[in-house]
Amino acid sequence: MPITKINIGPVHPSTHGVLRLAVYLDGDTIERVEPHIGFLHRGVEKLAETRMYMQNHPYMEKLDYIAPMAYDEAYVSTVEKALGIEVKERAMYIRVILLELQRIASHLFFVGTIGNDLGQMFTLFMWTYMDRDKVLDLLQEATGSRMFYVNMRLGGLVSDLPPDFEKRTLETLEYIDNRVKEYEAFIEKNPVFHERMKNIGILTPEKAMDLGVTGPVLRASGVQYDVRKNSPYYIYDKLHFEMKILTRGDNFSRYKMRLLEMRESIRLIREAFKMMPEGDALGMPVKLRMPPTKNKEVWISREAPKGELMMYMVADDQKPYRLAIRSPNFVNLSAIVHMSKGLRLADLFATLGTLDLVMGCVDK
């Protein structure tokens, strides 16, 4: 049969943003896929070179608008490391709590979109979005904003947690825990879901490591790598949580991985609340002038909800000389070229969906 080229995107219901895929089809089977990216490129890395440290701060969250807290925290940590600022003990706990809440919110979003990608008329999406809103309510209470928090400050946070935040968070977590069980039942009792997800888009551990994918996608392939465990930051080494591993590496295990991680995050937050010390959590107020640093090279690595997020910065006098961001989504997207070979056209979008891409983060 002749090869048909179809052009999917940049505006398409299930490319999760502005991604263009040139798909070469042999009948209904995919011969090859070429992702074309850059529709949302904003030049954040270059822009950062022209602004002072804390002026850059709000830009970073706009990269991943599904999980902005991770970028907020990663950038501030990079600057802290460059300037040699210590983070307060209580602030560390609060940061971990907020990051894990953000992870839950991000994974809830994933569970909803996977329903859309499999052609389920927005029901699952509306359900998970409703629950995600509950988590966002908590984040709003803690930070004052639902989407772009700009909540971290050097050495701490803008503000301490509001009173009774712990109680409300634990209630919400209880609710989310039950809801996750409900989703599991709703999704996995459906034979069509198993048919559409199992043994499709397989990523072997070797190939996954070759491609450099990280996060839930890598762990679903059976590779034990989680930055929170392998090179712990903040208080992750004091908290008890498991690094969940699934071995099949197909769409189903990538979906399942997110549910398991949500449970671990809930466990983490509960424990962090128990261990949280009293004290001061406020960071430095925003000021543009910083103590001078010359040619100091730093990099940090964080476990963002989508994968390993790294920020590399060469610190100049008052601003970054160079800021490089290793976005997990960009690397994970590259796996679709390998994974899509021989798939059916319909499965391409399920596979793309399980990578949980945010195009803002891919294009930077």
Which stretches of the chain bind other proteins, using CB under 8 A? Answer: 4, 6, 8, 12-14, 25, 28, 115-123, 126-127, 130, 186, 190, 192-193, 195-196, 344-349
Q: Which residues of 284-323 are buried (b: 16+ CB within 10 A; e: fewer)?
A: eeeeeebeebeeeebebbbbbbbbbbbbbbbbbeebbeeb
CB nearer to other proteins: give 17 or 155: 17
Q: How are the residues of the chain apportioned to helix, strand and coil, as percentages rounded to the nearest 5?
A: 50, 15, 35
* Cβ-based nearer residue to other proteins, 50 or 199: 199
Q: Shortest approach of other proteins to residue 362 CB, angstroms?
A: 20
For residues 60 and 71, the answer to whether their CB atoms sit within 8 Å is yes
Cα distance between residue 80 and residue 86, in whole Å: 7
CB of 236 to other proteins, least distance (A): 35
Contact (CB, 8 A) for 283 and 155? yes
- What are the structure tokens assigned to 339, written together? 């994974």
Residue 6 has which token pair?
Answer: 């179809």
CB 37 within 8 A of CB 327: no
Q: CB–CB of 243/229 below 8 Å?
A: yes
114/309 with CB nearer other proteins: 114
- Which residue type does 64 have? D
3-state secondary structure of 320: strand
Query: Residue 126 or residue 275: which is nearer to other proteins going by CB?
Result: 126
Q: Decide whether 119 or 162 has the Cβ nearer to other proteins.
A: 119
Cα 358 to Cα 65, 87, 256, 293, distances in angstroms: 8, 29, 19, 34
Q: Closer CB to other proteins, residue 103 or residue 132? A: 132
Q: How far is the CB of 85 from other proteins (least distance, A)?
A: 45
Q: Shortest gap between Cβ of 21 and other proteins (angstroms)?
A: 11
Residue carrying structure tokens 């197909």? 250
Min separation Cβ 129 and other proteins, Å: 9
**Comparison of 39 and 321: residue with beta carbon closer to other proteins:** 39
Axis crossing angle, helix 251-275 with helix 345-354, rounded to the nearest 10 = 20
3-class state of residue 321 by DSSP? strand
Q: How far is the CB of 10 from other proteins (least distance, A)?
A: 13
Q: How many CB atoms lie within 10 A of CB 48?
A: 25
Rounded to whole angstroms, the Cα distance separating 155 from 187 reads 43
CB of 354 to other proteins, least distance (A): 13
Copy the structure tokens of residue 107. 């994974």
Residue 3 or 275: the one with the smaller Cβ distance to other proteins is: 3
Parallel/antiparallel/unpaired status of strands 296-304 and 152-153: unpaired
Q: How far is the CB of 351 from other proteins (least distance, A)?
A: 12
- The SS3 of residue 273 is helix
- The arrangement of strands across the sheet holding 307-315 comes to 296-304, 307-315, 320-326
- Smallest distance, other proteins to C-beta of residue 190, A: 6
Query: Which C-beta is closer to other proteins: that of 330 or that of 349?
Result: 349
Residue 187: CB minimum distance to other proteins, A: 8
**Identity of the residue, 82 or 350, whose beta carbon is nearer to other proteins in the bound complex:** 350
